[in-house]
Amino acid sequence: MRFWLPTVGAVALLCPFALAQRDDPGFAAGTTNILLAANGGRIIAYSSEMLDENKRPVPQWQAANLIDGKYVTGTYRPEDSHGWSSNVPPKQGDPAWIIFAFRDEKTRLITRLVLDPTTVDPPVIGRGARDFELYVSTTTKDGPWALVKSGRLLNKPLRQTFDFLPVEARYLRLVITSNWGSDRFVELGEVECYEAIAGEQVLDQLIIRLENLLRDLKRYRDSVTLNQPLFPEVQPAPEGDTTDTAPPASQ
């Protein structure tokens, strides 16, 4: 029989802060964009990216531009990075999508998505991303996927922040279900993601939970290796034994 080892995920499920409200001061979004390529973020797959007449990707519009940390701001247009553009418009039942991973494809506890729809194309031509859904997978890059956030972007050249309850994620799947009217493409400038950082009080709770889990694991180990009950200190006295054998107080 195998020991059950508490993963961070199991601990998160057991911990009260997993049910914390959004404004719970025990949690805050970190300040490091863990999707940034320079921080180890990666693009695993995408539905499409703009192709030229020879069916070759257009570097200025490739999906990798979503995590390159280059932004179109004001009159500034990075020459080699205009944003990401799909090669087809999103349609009902056939959305555009991108799958991301963090450094070394490690699982992270995340709580914030930031989308910047700004590209070199003006909002008025309707190519900007509009409605989106964010899914996470804690296992494989092919899912199973759990929806953690859906929302609508403003059709404005602004970084836009979407917070959600902390959730574990190994892979992110950002699904763009609509644009602002274009029948050509859907575009997006940059995608950022931030971890949930626990406050001091929450850390104390987590430590207590972990200590309790360790104690239970030791009990389980002893019950298997020493063939003893899980809770020997509260075993009833053997039949016929009339001695007063109050169990010692448990620690």
Write down the least CB distance from residue 10 to Ca ion, Å. 36
- Residues 44-83 within binding reach of Ca ion (CB under 5 A): 65, 68, 70
The one segment of 12-20, 135-143, 183-191, 226-234 that binds Ca ion by CB under 5 A: 183-191
If binding is defined by CB under 5 A, does position 190 make contact with Ca ion?
Answer: yes
Contacts of residue 191, Cβ cutoff 8 Å, sequence gap at least 6: 35, 66, 67, 98, 100, 113, 114, 115, 116, 174
If binding is defined by CB under 5 A, does position 137 make contact with Ca ion?
Answer: no
Write down the least CB distance from residue 202 to Ca ion, Å. 33
If binding is defined by CB under 5 A, does position 159 make contact with Ca ion?
Answer: no
List of E strands, the chain: 27-29, 42-46, 84-85, 96-101, 108-116, 131-137, 146-152, 160-169, 171-176, 187-188, 190-198
- HSE at residue 238, side-chain half, CA atoms within 13 A, is 1
68 or 187: whose CB is closer to Ca ion? 68
Rg (CA), the chain: 25
48 or 119: whose CB is closer to Ca ion? 119
Q: By beta-carbon distance, which residue lies closest to Ca ion?
A: 190
Write down the least CB distance from residue 189 to Ca ion, Å. 5
Token pair of 175 as six digits = 């699904």
Residues forming the site for Ca ion (CB under 5 A) = 65, 68, 70, 190
